[in-house]
Amino acid sequence: MKLATMPIHDIQAVPAPVNVPELSFVIPAFNEEENIAETIRRVNDEARTLVRSHEIIVVDDGSSDSTFESAKKATGHIPLRILRLSRNFGKEQAIMAGLVASTGSGVVILDADLQEPLCHLATMLQHRAEGFEVVYAVRAHRDDEPCLKRFFSGVFYKLLNLGTEADIPADARDFRLMDRRVVDALCALPERNRFMKGLYGWVGFRSKAIPIELEQRTGGTSKFGFRNLLTLGLTGLTSFTSWPLRVWTLIGMSVAALSILYGFWIAAKTMIFGVDVPGWSTLAVAVFLLGGVQLISIGVLGEYLARVFTEVKGRPGFIIAETHSLIKDQR
């Protein structure tokens, strides 16, 4: 599967056909067999009260449980499409698979655990009617999280916004309503390493934030652990800012300047007091310090080169292994 790669400046609003749904709901899911059926039912019930037509797209991101089978058991008049990816490509790519498959004039992204209350959809639609093309949810507070996680999250967003082309709001959720023009712009971006929260801000358009409070999961546990957060954080930093390279350039210049000053001091001391026997401790500290700085610098460069290597290979961001659709039967 190859994503569209049209130039951004060629994207235009295309008049929607008569049978295009007003809203598309994109729901990425990974090992959510306990929640997915109830999520589909609740989203469908809420959508019927808000718009005249809609579609629900569930993207099974290579789940190892029966998420795909549980979603297929959805009954009733539900305009449902289910995409099963060939393996676990990650939430960012699962979202992209859903966006590419969506056809609605507006697209809503939400998590399969439904921690984001659906009652906010009416507010989102109201803001869209006011002219906002992106309406996104931000956490009203993070009091339910450990202090360490809150600290690192705050530091991450501050570092991420250093020198970025677009402002990336802190504590923003993937839960958002986007106009079709915004979705087309996101789908036209050719990059494979996707940090969606950054891309939402990069494409621009008029945006509105609404604060929400998360609800408790009805079943299962979060699949987004520390390792996933770390990987996503590195992707965001290397995709949207070059400040790590600049920081280590300044560190290298500072170490070089200190080395030159230290050399002058040694020369002056030798000329005034004579030759002194050098000590192993000073030499060892200098070697280990410079070695550590060099290794860290190589690591930072390696992260950027790894992103470039992934991009030049040109592999698709995701592969769809199987699809299941009830939409045709409902029209």
Range from 51-65, 119-133, 210-224 carrying the lowest mean pLDDT:
210-224
On whether both 125 and 274 belong to a single domain, the answer is no
Q: What is the CA radius of gyration of the chain?
A: 25
On whether both 193 and 288 belong to a single domain, the answer is no
pLDDT at 2 over 50: no
On whether both 69 and 207 belong to a single domain, the answer is yes
On whether both 212 and 177 belong to a single domain, the answer is yes
pLDDT at 25 over 90: yes
Instruction: Report the C-alpha gap between 296 and 298 in whole angstroms.
Output: 5
Cβ–Cβ < 8 Å for 85, 59: yes
Residue 238 in any domain: the answer is no
Residue 265 in any domain: the answer is yes
More confident residue, 239 or 171: 171
Looking at residue 264, its pLDDT comes to 72
On whether both 127 and 185 belong to a single domain, the answer is yes
**Per-residue pLDDT reduced to its tens digit, 174-186:** 888 999 998 998 8
Cβ–Cβ < 8 Å for 136, 210: yes
Q: How many domains does the chain have?
A: 2
Residue 228 in any domain: the answer is no
More confident residue, 293 or 211: 211
62: left (phi over 0), alpha (psi -120 to 50) or beta: left
**Per-residue pLDDT reduced to its tens digit, 191-219:** 777 777 778 877 878 888 888 887 776 65
Q: Residue 11 — very low, low, confident or very high, per pLDDT cuts 50/70/90?
A: very low
Cβ–Cβ < 8 Å for 321, 69: no
Looking at residue 108, its pLDDT comes to 92
Residue 26 in any domain: the answer is yes
What value does the mean pLDDT of the chain take?
A: 75
Instruction: Report the C-alpha gap between 276 and 270 in whole angstroms.
Output: 7
On whether both 27 and 145 belong to a single domain, the answer is yes
pLDDT at 4 over 60: no
Residue 41 in any domain: the answer is yes
On whether both 186 and 265 belong to a single domain, the answer is no
Q: Residue 8 — very low, low, confident or very high, per pLDDT cuts 50/70/90?
A: very low
On whether both 36 and 172 belong to a single domain, the answer is yes
On whether both 218 and 254 belong to a single domain, the answer is no
On whether both 202 and 261 belong to a single domain, the answer is no
Range from 88-92, 111-115, 267-271 carrying the lowest mean pLDDT:
267-271
Q: Which candidate, 1, 54, 68, places its Cα nearest to that of 320? A: 1
Q: Which residue range(s) make up the domain with 99?
A: 8-223+317-330
Q: What is the mean pLDDT of residues 226-234?
A: 62
More confident residue, 190 or 246: 190
Residue 231 in any domain: the answer is no
Looking at residue 299, its pLDDT comes to 73
On whether both 211 and 248 belong to a single domain, the answer is no
Range from 69-73, 95-99, 132-136, 212-216 carrying the lowest mean pLDDT:
212-216
pTM of the model: 0.70
The domain that contains 55 carries what CATH number?
Answer: 3.90.550.10
Residue 131 in any domain: the answer is yes
Residue 232 in any domain: the answer is no
| Cβ-count burial 273-298 (b if 16+ within 10 Å, e if not) | eeeeeeeeeeeeeeeeeeeeeeeebe
Looking at residue 303, its pLDDT comes to 72
Q: Residue 26 — very low, low, confident or very high, per pLDDT cuts 50/70/90?
A: very high
On whether both 219 and 282 belong to a single domain, the answer is no
